[in-house]
Amino acid sequence: MYYIYIYIYIYIYIYIYIYIYIYIYIYIYIHSIYSIYSIYIYIYIYIYIYIYIYTVYTVYTVYTVYIYILYILCIYIYIYIYIYIYNVCVVSTFTAAEAYSAFSVSRSVPGPPQRNQPIIFSNVITNYNNDFNTDTGHFRCSVPGTYYFVYHASSTEKMCILLMMNGTRLGSWCDIKTTRNIRQVSSGGLAVYLQREQEVWLETSDHRAMTSIPAGVSLFSGFLMHPQE
């Protein structure tokens, strides 16, 4: 009767062992391909080989049950460490990379911009996430948060620059000069909190002598300072 219990125990043990082995093998195989943390897989394999050899060449006593429990605990510890490191080092990094937006563009259109119309900046220097539309001159927010926008404009006559958000004027900067044909640069910046899909652009009013020549390039830039939590 005692031997029957031993055989049943061994049969159940082998069945559970094979099932867990197949499950863990598939799990590790998939994650070893798509994960850079392969060192933990090697640690698991080492523990697995050690426990396997020990259980095969050990009499099936109560100590074998302890070894089996230790084996299960090692698996759970491995999975916990893997998930923790993945969430901290991979998911957080990926999220941080997604939660970013920046652009920097220059104007290459000849002649002054249209009055009370968005200024077109067609030359892209940086356009992270493609949030700036070179056809419309609008920046559309894809990551809510606090942004900083700044412009540097070259001119030879009077010029006023307006920073607009969804049709509302946020700020204006004017350079009223009395001497013509003397090139100068004006600049201005503003921190703005944006919700998703809100748009920001630059306009000119009556004074719109913005140049777009190689010796006097006008720039418009913006970047996310702090994403919405």
Q: How confident is the model at residue 204 (pLDDT cuts 50, 70, 90)?
A: confident
Of 114, 215, 106, nearest to 155 by C-alpha is: 215
pLDDT tens digits, one per residue of 151-164: 998 877 788 899 99
Task: Give the position of tokens 């640069």.
Answer: 185
Rounded CA separation 11/32 (Å): 31
Cβ–Cβ < 8 Å for 187, 152: yes
> What's the Rg (C-alpha) of the chain?
33
| Residue 120 in tokens | 């077109």
Of 202, 186, 200, 190, nearest to 150 by C-alpha is: 190
**Amino acid code (one letter) for 40:** Y
Residue 160 CA: distances (Å) to CA of 119, 217, 225? 12, 16, 26
Q: Which residues pair with 162 in a beta bridge?
A: 172, 203
Task: Give the position of tokens 């939590």.
Answer: 229
Of 94, 25, 17, 91, nearest to 56 by C-alpha is: 17
Rounded CA separation 204/113 (Å): 7
Rounded CA separation 135/122 (Å): 7
Q: Give domain 102-227's CATH number out of 3.40.50.300, 1.10.10.10, 2.120.10.30, 2.60.120.40.
A: 2.60.120.40
Task: Give the position of tokens 């509302």.
Answer: 168
Q: Where are the alpha helices (DSSP H) in the chain?
A: 2-34, 39-56, 62-85, 92-98
Q: How confident is the model at residue 94 (pLDDT cuts 50, 70, 90)?
A: very low
pLDDT tens digits, one per residue of 106-135: 987 777 888 889 999 989 999 998 999 999
Least confident of 72-76, 163-167, 169-173, 211-215: 211-215
Cβ–Cβ < 8 Å for 163, 169: yes
Prediction pTM value: 0.57
Rounded CA separation 168/163 (Å): 8
